[in-house]
Amino acid sequence: MANHHDRWRVPEGERPKLSDIDTRSTAGAPGDKAETRAATGPLVDELAELQNRLWAEHRRSVLLVLQAMDAGGKDGTIRKVFTGVNPQGVRASSFKGPSTEELEHDFLWRIHQQVPGHGEIGVFNRSHYEDVLIVRVDELVPEDVWRPRYGTIRHFERSLVDAGTTVVKVFLHISKDEQKERFQSRLDEPEKRWKFSAADLTVRAKWDAYADAYADAIGETSTEAAPWYVVPADRKWYRDWAVLQILLGHLRDLDPQYPAEEAGLADLVIE
């Protein structure tokens, strides 16, 4: 493996067989839960350091796209992975059902407004991929509208990459059983109940249709320039560690540099 995050990477042109990927896998982890959590702390610190350099350099940006089935852990991942990062340098955007105004524009209109600027790490909690997922499963538009979007998305992401944005897409892969457990605990714990909606069950009933839509979307849009990663996510400690590995792999490659300082500063003493 050229880079250890290649373990989760979906090669260009390959449709992932999601049912063959063990959602409970801990492959490559430094140890059991406690050991992996212990190894995650230094990664959080390293992310903070690299983000600081990315901000100082102010020439490039990173976009992390997070997609998952309901209760897949997008919120928890964002909380854990970015816990050490200066809030000035990260921007999280979540995409719900589009507003009337958004529906009056092309599907990328609202997305493009949220992409990270120089020095920023942008995090998408859901994304333009909803427009080939829920939109397809619920037949919100006909197939001759959603299918060409794969190509539109490839071009869009390519244009972000050409403008200096590293695009990293992660599918947090949980099992249907794990979703059941998480839904049940949302119902059982009053302080989590607000996260549950009866509509989640309607979506759960369409699990297989979503799994198909995800496999197609990932297969159609995982490119060299903007790869997809499928992360086994039933175990939260493994998920957090893996997402950090992926993000850090890209940031280490970027190797952002502090800008050149003005001449003579090292000898300057303030009177």
CA 55, CA 256: separation in Å to the nearest integer? 9
- Residue 94: CB minimum distance to ligand ATP, A: 6
Find out whether 98 and 110 touch, Cβ atoms under 8 Å.
Answer: yes
Binding mask 194-233 for ligand ATP (x = CB under 6 A): -x--------------------------------------
* CB closer to Mg ion out of 150 and 207: 207
* SS3 label, residue 24: coil
Closest residue by beta carbon to Mg ion: 70
Chain residues that interact with Mg ion, rule: CB under 5 A: 70
Residue 95 contact partner, candidates ligand ATP, Mg ion, none, CB within 5 to 8 A by sort of partner: ligand ATP
Which of 95, 150, 207, 210 binds ligand ATP (CB under 6 A)? It is 95
Which of 2, 34, 96, 260 binds ligand ATP (CB under 6 A)? It is 96
Binding mask 239-268 for ligand ATP (x = CB under 6 A): ------------------------------
Which residue intervals of 134-262 are DSSP H helices? Answer: 134-137, 143-146, 149-162, 176-188, 199-204, 207-221, 236-254
Find out whether 44 and 254 touch, Cβ atoms under 8 Å.
Answer: no
CA 19, CA 103: separation in Å to the nearest integer? 34
Of 68, 119, 69, 113, give the one whose Cα is nearest residue 93. 113
Q: Confirm or reject binding of residue 154 to ligand ATP (CB under 6 A).
A: no
- Residue 203: CB minimum distance to Mg ion, A: 8
- Residue 199: CB minimum distance to Mg ion, A: 8
Of 221, 219, 210, 218, give the one whose Cα is nearest residue 155. 221
* CB closer to Mg ion out of 44 and 134: 134
